[in-house]
Amino acid sequence: MLYEGSPRILGGDLVYKMWYTGGWGSASINYAESFDGVVWTKYAGNPVIAGHSRSYVLRVDDTYYGYAANGPNSQIDLYTSRDGVSWILDTAAALPRGPVPGWDDGAVANISVLNEGPGVWKMLYDALGTGSGWQIGLATSSDGRVWTRYATNPVLSAGLTGGRGGPWLRKDGSRYFAWVHGSPPGGLPTEFQRYTSTDLVNWSASPSGATLGRETVDEGSATTVGQVADATLIEVAGQTRLYYAASTDGADPNAGQHIKLATAPFSLSALQSTRENALSTRWTPRGFVSLSSDGAMLIPSGSTSLGSPTFVNSFRAGQYTLSFTATILGGARRFAVVAAYIDDTRWASFITRDGAIDYQEAVPGGGRSVLLANTSSVNLAQHDWRILRRPTTVELWIDGMKIGATQTLSSTFLAQTTIGFGATATQIAIRSVLVS
């Protein structure tokens, strides 16, 4: 993740640039850009690096260095580029698997690289080996191409607590900081923790415990297989953004792997001086990270409008505002915004019908309570939606006009609020989705 100029997709000057993994069994590296770091536009020529995953990109002078895991060979290859889009293989097996038997003889995967100046390159990488779970090792290089493992790796071992992986490395002054995800024995669930070191060998954990835990339904908050993993941090305008992967089941390719964003109102340097505990609201979930070719999520015709929305994300309890634009592209003009789940069988949602918008509380096979009047916004034009979560109600505003509010008291909602979109017999484009 970088925030810089010379965009390849969007106009303007400064943009966010993301290189991300698409796919599971046959993964590839893809590229996307964003003006705000929330709504992303995918590069039309994706993938930019085929047959690889778990990339890490940094820019040194006028060259992009892209490290990526070559799945079939379980090694780290180095690609280079002048524009971040057109890549050439520079060094195959820049970091191969370790010797057999060994702690990293099975696979090397996620890495994070620092260039501290001419001839000084440092890398943290996670690996899987004989008789051990995921652990983190150190490697050094004089050119970023040929890497030497530290003799007494791993530097962050699994120990009795399970695995550690997905390192993101930063140096501030004389200290190094690493954000990693850790797990109990068995590999799941995972949560983030921050570590500090002066030599990249001896690490101490933050006293706050989990830096960012599994707090929402889509992160498997109430399960033993949920996952938040693979942190990437970036500082822009004095605030820090944490992008991370989330899933209800980290071992299931069909469990809805997706990218999320949390923010902290501190610079990276200031953040490192805090306890950085999610329970102290240092980190605040900010919204969807959607990846689509035109910056929109297309909700297809025939998707379920209640019970299992096409796109879902969850947020902690409290007040929030969901803002987005919606354009109905055709069909019966019926779609739903699920405002909050109450339990596994009952939920609250705003539902459009031909010529009307209702707020409904529905139970499968049961009744529905219609609380909102007709509105003229169910047509093919673009409309601005806002859903406000108040202490005791949820309000719906369209094009600056309050349409209505729920009658459900906040005590009936779960601790987290779940939001999703669905459609019945129509297509709808959802753009600029933000939760604040």
For position 312, which CATH number holds? 2.60.120.560
What are the CA-CA distances from residue 71 to residues 52, 106, 109, 138 (Å)? Answer: 6, 11, 8, 20
Q: Are residues 280 and 407 in the same domain?
A: no
For position 285, which CATH number holds? 2.115.10.20
Q: Are residues 198 and 338 in the same domain?
A: no
Residues in the chain: 436
pLDDT score, position 96: 97
Q: What residue numbers bound the domain in which 377 lies?
A: 296-435
pLDDT bucket at 290, cuts 50 / 70 / 90: very low
- CA 271: distance to chain centroid? 20
Give the lowest-confidence range in 17-21, 136-140, 361-365.
Answer: 361-365
pLDDT score, position 351: 80
Burial 169-179 (b: 16+ CB within 10 A, else e): bbeeeeebbbb
The whole-angstrom separation of Cα 396 and Cα 403 is 6
The first and second tokens of residue 360, run together, are 């409904």
The whole-angstrom separation of Cα 51 and Cα 128 is 20
Q: Are residues 312 and 190 in the same domain?
A: no
The whole-angstrom separation of Cα 282 and Cα 263 is 8
Q: Are residues 280 and 323 in the same domain?
A: no
Residue where a domain terminates, one of 266, 291, 316: 291
Peptide bond into 101 cis (omega under 30): yes
Strand order in the sheet with 394-398: 296-299, 426-435, 320-331, 382-389, 394-398, 401-405
Mean pLDDT (whole number) for 202-222:
78
Q: Are residues 253 and 307 in the same domain?
A: no
pLDDT mean across residues, the chain: 82
The per-residue pLDDT for range 397-417, each reduced to its tens digit, is: 887 788 877 766 555 555 556
Mean pLDDT (whole number) for 14-21:
96
Q: Are residues 243 and 356 in the same domain?
A: no
| Among candidate residues 387, 368, 380, 269, the one with its CA nearest the CA of residue 322 | 387
The whole-angstrom separation of Cα 210 and Cα 283 is 12
The whole-angstrom separation of Cα 323 and Cα 309 is 17
The whole-angstrom separation of Cα 344 and Cα 60 is 50
Q: Using CA atoms of 101, 67, 258, 167 in order, give the dihedral in degrees to the nearest 10.
A: 60
Q: Are residues 302 and 277 in the same domain?
A: no
SS3 of the chain:
CEEECCCCCCCCCCEEEEEEEECCCCCEEEEEEECCCCEEEECCCCCCECCEEEEEEEEECCEEEEEEEEHHHCEEEEEEECCCCCEEEEEEEEECCCCCCCCCCCEEEEEEEEEEECCEEEEEEEEEECCEEEEEEEEEECCCCCEEECCCCCCECCCCCCCEEEEEEEEECCEEEEEEEECCCCCCCEEEEEEEECCCCCCEECCCCCCECCCCHHHCCCCCCCEEEEEEEEEECCEEEEEEEEECCCCCCCCCCEEEEEEECCCHHHHHCCCCCHHHCCCEEEEECEEECCCEEEECCCCCCCCCCCEEEEEECCCEEEEEEEEEEEECCCEEEEEEEEECCEEEEEEEECCEEEEEEECCCCCECCCCCCCCCCCCCEEEEEEEECCCCEEEEECCEEEEECCCCHHHCCCEEEEEEEECCEEEEEEEEEEC
Q: Are residues 342 and 427 in the same domain?
A: yes
Q: Are residues 140 and 261 in the same domain?
A: yes
Q: How many CB atoms lie within 10 A of CB 41?
A: 21
Mean pLDDT (whole number) for 203-208:
80
In sequence order, the 6+-apart residues with CB closer than 8 A to the CB of 45 are: 85
pTM of the model: 0.69
Q: Reply yes or no on whether the pLDDT at 307 is more than 50.
A: no
Alpha carbon distance, N-terminus to C-terminus of the chain: 22
Dihedral sign, CA of 197, 167, 292, 397?
A: negative
What are the CA-CA distances from residue 417 to residues 66, 394, 426 (Å)? Answer: 38, 11, 26
The first and second tokens of residue 300, run together, are 């297809």
Q: Are residues 264 and 330 in the same domain?
A: no
Residue where a domain terminates, one of 260, 291, 322: 291
Q: How many CB atoms lie within 10 A of CB 424?
A: 19
The whole-angstrom separation of Cα 154 and Cα 138 is 7
For residue 432, how many C-alpha atoms fall within 13 Å in the half-sphere facing its CB?
11
| Among candidate residues 389, 341, 348, 392, the one with its CA nearest the CA of residue 372 | 348
Q: Are residues 229 and 325 in the same domain?
A: no
Tell me how far apart the 2 most distant CA atoms of the chain are, in Å.
71
pLDDT score, position 393: 72
pLDDT score, position 275: 56
Tally of structural domains, the chain: 2
The per-residue pLDDT for range 229-267, each reduced to its tens digit, is: 999 999 999 989 999 998 888 888 777 788 998 888 788
The per-residue pLDDT for range 136-192, each reduced to its tens digit, is: 999 999 999 999 999 999 999 976 557 999 999 999 999 999 999 999 888 899 989
Q: Are residues 82 and 217 in the same domain?
A: yes
Residue where a domain terminates, one of 291, 310, 327: 291
| Phi–psi pair at 237, nearest 5 degrees | 55, 40
pLDDT score, position 412: 57
